[in-house]
Chains A and B, each alone.
Chain A
């Protein structure tokens, strides 16, 4: 179980880190006055500082008001549901990079329908392939927008 307090702290730390990254990154490009007015780093530098400062206030607020943040951010049941949705999605992105978006879409839909929806594997696979084919025609023909393809499309000569 994750408490709201730890989630607040983690997020504020993360945003402070991103702000700091902007500050550090901006320093490289100069934050002072150049030939053409303020140097490229100036604006991101001060924005970064602002983010860091506001994140620190959020950290302080969360710490001071710790009592009020005892509530649950994510309980065991919710965490399981989020994970069961999130992990296949990450795998989908990895597979999409390797095999292309169409194949990944077909596999992903098949898996979720079969594994989480409780459909028979044949029904799931048919739906997955049908969805991928439908996306193919809508995107490549109707809108003429090519999207990421992999070895399967290459083997079929679909370019």
Chain B
């Protein structure tokens, strides 16, 4: 009940005209970046983040999370109407959403997608409400070795649970840590890895990396594929919307199952993309009408959408309570919290309860606002994709580079963003996962600090990571996750590398 009182207090914080207006702005901007190719949720949040440095943290996080919800909705819209996933996490929605739209059921597909997404998000937020302060209280017992073990577990689960080759995941992650190490060393205060370049003195911002990897890289991909939008004209009719709402309870089992999958994948850093694919796969396997999947089965829209949003919102839980984000976008937001001077983790619940509960309350409101806005504005946003790419493409490029410049006001960052763009393009084409790199850049310093402090505590002995039950359990879990696929997969993969094409 303590949580309930805190939540009510949070609603008091979130429910001001200013905050609700910010939610609407955030959702609209989010749908926009979700709809546009090359601008996704992580990238959109990165672009907006520098503009919020001067805002109050509560208002800023409401704006950014609302943008996140909006982007998730926007991504599903293009999946259904154009067969182009606006976000990697809405790829699975194209399998049945686009066939539904082609059969003249665009309104039903969109409404189903939005409502099940809203349902998934709500389940995620309820989970956060119930669990977060408990997790935070539990995490208060953590000291440096435990923190390092949690970070280790997070990265190990990328290796163990990710769809990509474990070695490619390690490369991507390691590069993230290496980039994070450039510049000032947070323990000794000295500079390192600058190779004599003044430009590297202040380090490499993770925001630049996200803008390059997700934004510019994605645009190069889009150009290479030769963009053609075969959109389906959609007019959202109120009558169809209500009819579809009536249909929704029929899919209660899919909804609940997909929410559970989504929440699990969101809390462990599997992320929304993996969650939506997994949920789609399971829904198909358990369905009595398997042949309908791929040809416009409503469950094929409900399952990935619910899981996608459940994962997206529950990814906030480990970010808030442990300081370990569950998705790339959550990682960017956590980086933002640190820039605003807030330290994500259990102490945040004690030091800034107004912030934490205001955020959680705003997630309830933000998702409801998002469902309403997205239903009302979809025809408008769908028409944006009819603008020729020769206009919209360069505008997105300009937005990305301006965004990169606003991070720190350094011209060098423009080159950096360009380089990350090329890297993002290569990584995407060759199935290197990008999310671990971003997560490593955000967590790099914290993970390293935790490691070094542990070493100081133990005078250089690694045995501290087995010194008590808690840390040992975490480490063993992490090792099992990290080494499992390496051991079982190495033999098979050395013989025959499989060209996976799953996007993360």
Contacts and interface: CB of A to CB of B under 8 A. Distances in A.
Chains A and B belong together in one complex: yes
Interface of A: 4, 7-8, 11-12, 15, 18-19, 21-22, 25-26, 28-29, 33, 36-38, 40-44, 47-48, 50-51, 54-55, 57-58, 60-62, 64-65, 68-69, 71, 73-74, 77-78, 81-82, 84-86, 88-90, 92-93, 96-97, 101, 105, 108-109, 112-113, 116-119, 127, 131, 135, 139, 143-148
A81 B178 contact: no
Nearest to A54: B170
B394 A108 contact: yes
A117 B388 contact: yes
Interface in B410-458: 411, 414-415, 418, 426-427, 429-430, 432, 448, 451-453, 455-456
B395 interface: yes
Contacts of A47: 174, 177-178, 181
A43 B452 contact: yes
B434 to A, nearest CB: 13
A25 B195 contact: yes
A63 B451 CA distance: 36
Contacts of A64: 494-495, 497
A137 B174 CA distance: 41
B215 to A, nearest CB: 11
Contact of B192 (A29, A84, A113, A135): A29
14 contacts: A26-B181, A29-B190, A42-B452, A43-B181, A44-B192, A60-B494, A65-B495, A74-B224, A85-B220, A93-B401, A96-B411, A97-B411, A113-B390, A113-B391
Contacts of A29: 185, 190, 192-193
A97 B494 CA distance: 46
B452 A11 contact: no
Contacts of B448: 43
Given A25-B195, A36-B456, A74-B224, 20 more contacts: A4-B499, A7-B429, A11-B426, A11-B427, A29-B190, A37-B452, A42-B452, A43-B452, A51-B171, A54-B168, A60-B494, A65-B496, A73-B429, A85-B223, A92-B397, A109-B398, A112-B390, A113-B394, A135-B398, A145-B51
A86 B193 CA distance: 29
Query: Which 5 A-B residue pairs are closest in the complex by CB-CB distance?
Result: A117-B390, A51-B174, A65-B497, A37-B456, A54-B170
Nearest to A93: B414
B168 A58 contact: yes
B167 A61 contact: yes
- Of listed A12, A57, A97, A116, residue having the most chain B CB within 10 A: A57
B178 A61 contact: no
Given A92-B401, A108-B394, A40 B190 contact: yes
A71 B431 CA distance: 14
B494 A58 contact: no
B405 interface: yes
A101 B402 contact: yes
- Of listed B165, B220, B429, B497, residue having the most chain A CB within 10 A: B497
The prevalent SS among residues of B at the interface is: helix
B249 interface: no
A11 B430 contact: yes
A82 B192 CA distance: 36
Interface of B: 50-51, 54, 165, 167-168, 170-171, 174-175, 177-178, 181, 185, 187-188, 190, 192-193, 195, 216, 219-220, 223-226, 388, 390-391, 393-395, 397-398, 401-402, 405-406, 409, 411, 414-415, 418, 426-427, 429-430, 432, 448, 451-453, 455-456, 460, 493-499
Given A37-B456, A65-B496, A73-B429, A85 B393 contact: yes
Given A43-B451, A44-B181, A85-B223, A61 B493 contact: yes
A51 B51 contact: no
A151 to B, nearest CB: 15
Contact of A33 (B174, B401, B460, B497): B460
Contact of A48 (B167, B178, B187, B499): B178
B455 A61 contact: no
A93 B195 CA distance: 24
Contacts of B170: 50-51, 54
A93 B417 CA distance: 10
A96 B405 CA distance: 11
Contacts of A4: 430, 499
Nearest to B449: A43
A97 B178 contact: no
A44 B193 contact: yes
Contact of A22 (B185, B193, B494, B498): B193
B16 to A, nearest CB: 21
Given A43-B448, A61-B497, A97-B411, A90 B188 contact: no
B415 A93 contact: yes
A81 B195 CA distance: 35
A105 B397 CA distance: 9
Contacts of B165: 58, 61
A62 B177 CA distance: 25
B48 to A, nearest CB: 10
Nearest to B410: A148
A82 B405 contact: no
B418 A82 contact: no
- Of listed A11, A22, A43, residue having the most chain B CB within 10 A: A43
